Structure 1
Amino acid sequence: MPFYFQGFPNIIAFKTTSKMINTSKNKFVIPAIPAVLLSMVSVQGGASIAKHLFPILGASGTASLRIGFSAILLLFFFRTNLFALNKKQWVYCLAYGTCLGAMNLVFYLAIKRIPLGLGVTIEFTGPLVLALVGSRKLLDLLWVLLACLGIALIAPWQNNNVDLLGVALALLAGALWAGYIVLGGKVSQIMKSGDAVAVGMIFASALVLPFGIFSGGLAALNVPLLLIGVAVAFLTSAIPFTLEMGALRLLPSKTFGILMSLHPAFGALSGLLFLKEYLSLAQWLSIICVIIASIGATYFSRKER
């Protein structure tokens, strides 16, 4: 899931996103709110397709395929001039891309063991905690408690069917997502956002590709699988990026943030429809708690951006 185009569940991420989006005078055909919803459908649908590849390519092989093709698409989309970057930009992109690649790899390893909807929900807690760190508002304590309740409802000691390692990996992916947000904000201050994402994906590919190779998963590659990999890259990068970029020109970032807080629900529905991943009542309640916490943290943030 997620790298940049898997959505941002809190206001810190939306602020970063707003800085990273190139404004344009071109008219956006799709209305803003449907565009954001379609973006989430595209991302989670792409994640479901990717998960179907796990039995053949493995999680690391699938991550390599998805990130590799995404890097190519982004470089083509932004037409980044790699020779124009200075040393500082390369160093920042290295840190940013490494965190990005690790986040994607770890998340794919997580959803190999646990349902997609739960993986998205648990990962969401990383950026949510980042949004609430340092807050002195009493109301924010409610969102923290709701997020904690959400995790408690799907903790392995509550449900023997939840894989402990899968939960731990999803939590690690959430921590990496928080780091990715922080690094994204820094790198967007010294270079164009599109170039930062494209170059970061190069480093992400360099990190993940060895795992795909040494796992043996990429040995099973053939033309149909390559085409599926391209489709996954489009669904999880090119299409959502285009939709979100257009929507952010028309929507306040707070409204955008509230909408993107629905990602866990879309992940759960995608897992149900495409992967037959049925969740228990407690697991659905967990997803609802995290969504409410994310919406609350976004809506009651200090000021409109």
Structure 2
Amino acid sequence: MTDEKKHAAGHPMLAALALLCSQLSLNGGAAVAKHLFPKIGVEGVTAYRVGISALIMLLMFRPWRTRLTGRQALNVAIYGSVIGLMNLLIYRAFSHIPMGIAVAIEVAGPLTVAVISSHRLRDVVAVCLAVAGLYFLLPMHGQVDQLDPVGVAYAAGAAVCWALYIVFGKRVSSGSGGQSVAWGMLAASLFIVPIGVAHAGAALLTPSYLLIGAAIAVMSSAVPYTLEMLSMRALSQRTFSMFSSAAPAISALAGMVVLGELLSPTQWLAIAAIVAASALTSLR
């Protein structure tokens, strides 16, 4: 095998590894963020995550060196707005229900993208698995009546945003990965930061909170979104959705280790069913 062929064969593997690292960083940051909710509210933490990430990305990649066309600017604006809203909604969900369950519901977004982009019989099985998993997680089931329906609704909204994030992220990724993310984070910050300031006010300037906010921004946005953008350039939209399927399990583990969020065996089985459904949609 020539060096060129070896590089081509290894490229998707590196992209998959980058995506896994992004999930670990993202969920670790989310677990840390939940500790700040009582201090500055969900909106304040989201403003930290998005605003500080935007500053970091702008300094790192200096995206103004690459001029955007009108179409690219529109895609970046939508991409960034979706990032901001997705962050706000999933953090709101975290404030009501355990992280693993929230992300299990949220992953319905990439699952939907994968199913729509494929026409195979096994997708029917995947949908059945996902429906079964959601049935045992949603409040309509008697054993999980402790779940807050409001939190479930927020997670469902985040699922819609995640699906849009994949679609528009794939379009934006045709340019330079880091610069595309920087433009997207700037658009997200223009949307989210004013909301955070309106809710948290001067508390956002507390030095100790700022330090934690910077760590959250790096772990939850700057690192994972850059790695995901690089992955999107090498992986198809459907394959990217498949690798994202591990998110509920990783999130549940992060919630258990960092926050002490213990799930019942039924809830773990439900999460496993949703992870299996997401993975099954992209098996070749």
- Report whether the alignment pairs 1:291 with 2:263: no
Quote the offset at 1:281 in angstroms. 1.7
- Report whether the alignment pairs 1:180 with 2:165: yes
- Match of residue 113 from structure 1: 96
Contact 1:49/1:232, CA 8 A, preserved across alignment: yes
- Match of residue 271 from structure 1: 255
TM-score by length of 2: 0.85
After superposition, the Cα gap between the structure-2 partners of 1:34 and 1:176, relative to the gap in structure 1 and judged at 3 Å, is closer
- Match of residue 156 from structure 1: 139
Contact 2:114/2:241, CA 8 A, preserved across alignment: no
Paired with 2:221 and 2:193, the residues of 1 have a C-alpha distance of: 18
- Report whether the alignment pairs 1:95 with 2:78: yes
Paired with 2:94 and 2:54, the residues of 1 have a C-alpha distance of: 22
After superposition, the Cα gap between the structure-2 partners of 1:237 and 1:220, relative to the gap in structure 1 and judged at 3 Å, is closer
Contact 2:18/2:231, CA 8 A, preserved across alignment: yes
- Report whether the alignment pairs 1:39 with 2:22: yes
After superposition, the Cα gap between the structure-2 partners of 1:90 and 1:240, relative to the gap in structure 1 and judged at 3 Å, is closer
More helix by share: 2
Paired with 1:284 and 1:103, the residues of 2 have a C-alpha distance of: 24
What are the ranges of 5 or more consecutive residues in structure 1 without an aligned counterpart?
A: 1-23, 301-305
Paired with 2:155 and 2:34, the residues of 1 have a C-alpha distance of: 15
Quote the offset at 1:250 in angstroms. 9.5
- Match of residue 215 from structure 1: 199
Contact 2:167/2:237, CA 8 A, preserved across alignment: no
Write the letter of the residue equivalent to 2:40: L
Contact 2:113/2:241, CA 8 A, preserved across alignment: no
TM-score by length of 1: 0.79
- Match of residue 229 from structure 1: 213
After superposition, the Cα gap between the structure-2 partners of 1:132 and 1:234, relative to the gap in structure 1 and judged at 3 Å, is same
Contact 2:29/2:216, CA 8 A, preserved across alignment: yes
Q: Percent identity?
A: 41
Quote the offset at 1:210 in angstroms. 2.0
What are the ranges of 5 or more consecutive residues in structure 2 without an aligned counterpart?
A: 1-6
Paired with 2:173 and 2:231, the residues of 1 have a C-alpha distance of: 19
- Report whether the alignment pairs 1:72 with 2:61: no
- Report whether the alignment pairs 1:145 with 2:117: no
Write the letter of the residue equivalent to 1:94: A
In structure 2, the residue corresponding to 1:81 is in which secondary structure? Answer: helix
Cα deviation 1:248-292 (Å, max 9, x = unaligned): 899999887655422211100110111111111221111101110
Write the letter of the residue equivalent to 1:147: A
In structure 1, the residue corresponding to 2:145 is in which secondary structure? Answer: coil
Quote the offset at 1:185 in angstroms. 2.4
Contact 2:173/2:233, CA 8 A, preserved across alignment: no
Q: Give the number of aligned pairs.
A: 274
Contact 1:102/1:176, CA 8 A, preserved across alignment: yes
After superposition, the Cα gap between the structure-2 partners of 1:164 and 1:245, relative to the gap in structure 1 and judged at 3 Å, is closer
Contact 1:65/1:229, CA 8 A, preserved across alignment: yes
